[in-house]
Amino acid sequence: MTDPVPSADSTSVAAVLAKRSREDLGELLEDLIALFVGVMPDVDVKRSLFGRTIKSVRIPLSDRAFVLERTRGGSFEARRQQIVRGVAIRNDPLEIDIFIAELSVAIDAELRRSERGRSALDSWLRSNL
């Protein structure tokens, strides 16, 4: 007997992101952007000159924004911004693990608010299990 395929209701974004961040953060970044662009119109993606590599992504969620930037050396810098009336008034650098954990919770809550978000989240979770 096979186990049923987990759904967005039974699988958390945090679990998937934690696992994927240990594998290849660059690939995870590409996957997250594909998920966000379809359901969250305010996501800001900056790409390299020829558009092949993502340089940074900024994901606004309520009164916070999560920013992940690729450095010249190929590593990543993560931070959380506090947003007041559309302006970032504070930037807090975060370790990648903490960034992933906080972003996961915020994404989970945001995407579960709408049918379109739940559908996109469910599809993304299924493709990452």
41: DSSP letter: T
Mean pLDDT, residues 116-120: 69
Identify the pLDDT of residue 2: 40
Identify the pLDDT of residue 10: 42
Percentage of the chain surpassing pLDDT 90?
A: 18
Q: Residue ranges of the domains in the chain?
A: 13-122
Q: How far apart are the first and last CA of the chain?
A: 18
* Overall pTM > 0.75: no
Encode pLDDT of 34-87 as tens digits. 667 666 768 888 888 876 778 888 988 888 999 988 888 878 899 999 999 989
CA distance 64 to 123: 25
